Amino acid sequence: MPTHHPDKGVELYREDDAFVVLVELAGYDRDDVDLRWRDRRLHVEAEHREPGERTKVFHRSVGLPRAVREDEISATLADGVLTVRLPVDDDRPEGRHIDIS
């Protein structure tokens, strides 16, 4: 199994029955991060302020190619990497083919 690490801030891959999103957030604490699922997109916003220093701001939005089971999304933040697991909802159709006339 390959080792994954966010390249250029964000990495998305499929692992068995879930999508996994890795986000590099070195220097941010859990309380600095606002994580939301909205409109089939994962939204990550983080803001960290140190007295007398500049404010660090991070914002990314990641769209997923399949529906996920929203109530089973989980996330952890360890060693500066946010890991979000989004279980795929295989019961929902992926879409439909549209004929072009």
CATH of segment(s) 10-87: 2.60.40.790
Q: Which residue from 4, 13, 9, 36 is spatially nearest to 24, judged by alpha carbons?
A: 9
pLDDT of residue 5: 57
Q: Which residue from 30, 81, 83, 32 is spatially nearest to 57, judged by alpha carbons?
A: 32
Give SS3 for 71: helix
**What does pTM read for this prediction?**
0.82
pLDDT of residue 94: 63
pLDDT along the chain (101 residues), means of 10: 61 93 93 93 92 90 91 95 93 73 79
pLDDT of residue 19: 95
Q: Where are the domains of the chain?
A: 10-87
DSSP H or E segment with residue 7: none
